[in-house]
Structure 1
Amino acid sequence: MSADEHRLAVAVVGGLHADARHAAVEEILRTVPGSVALHHDLSAATDRAVRRTVRDASGPLGGGEAPLVNDCACCALREDLVPELLRLATGGGHRLAVVELWDSVEPQAMAAVIAAEGAPLELTGVATAVDPALIVPYLANGDDLAEAGLAAAPADQRTIADTFARQLEYPTLIAVAEDGMSGEPADCGDHALLTQLTPGAGKLWLGEGALGPALLEGFDIEAAAARQHPACALLPQEGDDHGVATLVWRRGRPFHPGRLYAALEDLTCAAARSRGRFWLADRGDTLLSWDAAGGALCVESAGPWLAALPDAAWEMVPPERRVAAALDWHPGHGDRCQHLTFTSPGLDRDGLLALLDSCLLTDAEYAAGPDAWRRLPHAFDELLDPVF
């Protein structure tokens, strides 16, 4: 039998809101004939194995265990996922395999594993299931996953807030649970926050039966990765609805490293979620990423700005990044820029604007030029160049 005859559509459904996720998967099994769900329970990893279950709309079809790999439950999931999907594909009789991720597993990583395998597996959709009443408390929760019993590996240092934020921002579909699932109804502000944080995702209400068919429509793994890359990320747009606002801050001169560093705590706590890319005067060739949620901030190097690369290297850059750079291009400093977004209920837009602008180089500092900028105090060395 040919690979085409064995083709198996695969969809990923994730999310820290377990009740919403379970409801989404059960709806898919009920509404898509020939669908089957595969789930790896990482909570049993303390028993030296990850438990696997396979079920369809009628109930369990089988199960088993995957041994830990280097004491890592997430590594065991990675090792076991594709062989199980291939077994389902070659067994025939299934139209769609739904990979129901465990709570803290992020969809981007597992989508990449499935897409890399290729035929007979075809990744056709990625969704995160959300209880809108829980969005604010989860984005505000700075607890480590390990403290909550949700770590996926021994070295997992993620927090509930940053994990939840990435689960929201990667997929092209958000499965929205019915109000009251968590015991508290969502209000208009909760839905406004969800809309502003996920500009590139379609919202589908559970109970309407639309999620399963939507997950069969196809998924572009390269475009999804580009939407997450700091250089060309699909960031929230300006918004103000039901007390929830998004500020998009774009400027064409660099930050003073010392003044920005002194303002980090206030900037990090100014919004439920902030993201983007920024330019430090003393690191003029380095594109830096900004990622904050739950009162914690991660700043990292995302490689060079395009303006810092030789022309020949541009051919190796994804087209999405070249387009994003062209939109910000300046005749003097190329694509170097500030592009940060802040989204939150009760956002103090005026105060935030004033604080951000105060961290930029002054007119006199800017006029001194790049050679002088490089001699400014290197306040971010500890964050960007840690010594272990």
Structure 2
Amino acid sequence: MRIALVTGLHAEARTEAVDELLRTVPRSVAVHHDMGDIGDGVVRRVVRDPSGTSRSEQVELDHACASCTVREDLLPFLLRHAADGRHDLCVVDSWEGLEPRSIAESIAARPELRLASVATVVDTSRLTSDVGSPDELGDRGLDIAQDDTRTVAEVLNRQVEYANVLVLSAEGGHSHARALLRQLNPAAAIVTSGADLSGFLDQRFDPESAHRRLKPAWAHYLDHDETRGVSTVTWTRKRPMHPERLSDALERIVATSLRGRGRFWLASQPDTLLVWESHQDLLMVESGGPWLSALPEAAMDLVSPDRRATALLDWDPTVGDRRQHLSFTGVGMDTASLLALLDSCLATETEVGQEFQNDPFAEFSEG
């Protein structure tokens, strides 16, 4: 049985797209897990069919959480419907606050199911404000756990960037929305709600390829694009950054864009690849492991072929795969000032190799 995973923070636009699939694809059914009361231990499964009939029931879970819902109810539901043969397509209408990756991987791992497509539906009138929103999911009643501190911007970006199809609501503002979505996810097809999606239902979505495409430690981003006031710029340099100057500039760098992602290299930690993820004013930094050029030759056999291939694309005979590779997308962004600010954080020739007594990023050291 084919599965279409439909995600999106904007519930009304997403529901319209799911209903359109049910109307146009014969022998289809849709399932939605309502997690609005998950804080009280309640999850409801809602099943819809092309006739408009809707059935809702509370599901029994060992623990009321998103991962338990997928494992203990969604997957068994899909497997039962695949076995009975009455439906050719099941549309998984995902809850607003869920990111698609874990659901897609769980579905694709089952040989009885064919994950055909992952579509994210957006309300074009809300896209820019939500990509730049500081709100946490809990502020809108969309959190899925007591300690869920993810932001609206963080979740929406991950929904948009993971999908292979982006569906725009039928309302206006498409040209600006297309420019922003195209720069956030150049790999996705962009269609308008009501368009024929049947061509995407004969495919097979590959979660491994999506993961490789998105992993900041490996990804390559658009060099430069500017369309209808939406800009993306990628900053690549072959010198490390001074840790204190970068720390002092972080707030200004993050404030310039709606979305930032990539990898960076510090003079204080020459062997550690650091990962950058920013969503408006939220910045997350983590260790991405060692640069490949920091590994002994014998250890290279333990590195995945994809990671080696990506590193070799721009290998430098002096610094290997060490480099700055940061991409920023924003609306009305002053790219020249941003690039100048990033360049000001680079270490000078005399600073490279020196001891840094004060390293604000010391917690990420591989050593």
* Pair in the same fold by TM > 0.5: yes
What letter matches 2:107 in structure 1?
A: I
Q: Which residue of 2 aligns with 1:347?
A: 333
Q: What secondary structure sits across from 2:262 in the alignment?
A: strand
The aligned residue for residue 93 of structure 2 is 100
**1:202-241 alignment to 2 at 5 Å?**
202-209=189-196, 211-241=197-227
Matching residue of 1:87? 80
Match of 1:175 among 167, 170, 179: 167
Q: Is residue 2:356 matched to residue 1:378? A: no
The answer on 1:281 being equivalent to 2:267 is yes
Corresponding residue for 2:36?
43
Give identity over the alignment, percent.
46
For 1:71 and 1:31, how far apart are their aligned partners in 2?
34
Question: What stretches of structure 1 of length at least 5 have no aligned partner?
Answer: 1-7, 180-184
Q: Which amino acid aligns with 2:169?
A: A
- Counterpart of 2:179 in structure 1 is 192
Q: Give 1:294 shift.
A: 2.6
Tell me the secondary structure at the aligned position of residue 167 of structure 1: helix
In 2, Cα distance between equivalents of 1:33 and 1:113: 25
**Could you tell me how far apart the structure 1 residues matched to 2:362 and 2:140 are?**
31
Provide the rounded CA distance (Å) in 1 between the counterparts of 2:168 and 2:303.
Answer: 35
Query: Does the CA contact (< 8 Å) of 2:39 and 2:144 recur in 1?
Result: no
Partner residue, 1:201: 188
Find the aligned partners of 1:18 and 1:300 in 2 and give their Cα distance.
32
Structure 2: stretches of 5+ with no match in the other structure: none
- Residue type of the alignment partner of 1:308: A
Superimposed CA distance per residue, residues 151-195 of structure 1 (whole angstroms, 9 cap, x where no aligned partner): 11222121001111111101111111112xxxxx31633331122
- The reply on whether 1:115 has 2:108 as its aligned counterpart is yes
Residue 378 of structure 1 aligns with an amino acid whose one-letter code is D
The RMSD of aligned alpha carbons is 1.9
Opposite residue 192 of structure 1, the aligned amino acid is A
Determine the C-alpha separation between the residues in 2 that align with 1:376 and 1:219: 48
Matched residues in 2 for 1:317 and 1:176: separation? 39
Name whichever of 74-83 and 125-134 sits farther off. Answer: 74-83
Which sits farther off after the overlay, 303-312 or 149-158? Answer: 303-312
Separation of aligned partners in 1, 2:242 and 2:62: 45
Where 1:146 maps in the other structure, the secondary structure is helix
Counterpart residue type for residue 127 of structure 2: I
Shift, 1:323, TM fit: 2.1
Of 11-20 and 324-333, more deviation after overlay is shown by: 324-333
Indicate conservation of the 8 Å contact 2:179/2:230, yes or no: yes
Q: Is the 8 A contact 1:199 1:237 kept in 2?
A: no
Q: SS where residue 188 of structure 1 aligns?
A: helix
**Deviation of the 1:262 alpha carbon:** 0.6
Distance 1:88 1:187 in 2: 36
Match of 1:97, SS state, is: strand
Alpha-carbon offset, residue 238 of structure 1: 1.0
Q: State how 1:1-388 maps to structure 2 within 5 Å.
A: 8-60=1-53, 62-116=55-109, 118-179=110-171, 185-186=172-173, 188-209=175-196, 211-366=197-352, 369=353, 372=354, 375-381=356-362, 384=364
TM-score between both structures, scaled by the size of structure 2:
0.94
Change in Cα spacing, 1:99 to 1:270, as seen in structure 2 (3 Å) is same
Residue 256 of structure 1 deviates from its aligned partner by 0.7
Are the equivalent residues in 1 in contact too, given 2:70–2:103 (CA < 8 A)?
A: no
Letter of the 1:29 counterpart: L
Q: Provide the C-alpha distance between the structure 2 equivalents of 1:64 and 1:354, rounded to a whole number of angstroms.
A: 57
How many equivalent residue pairs?
365
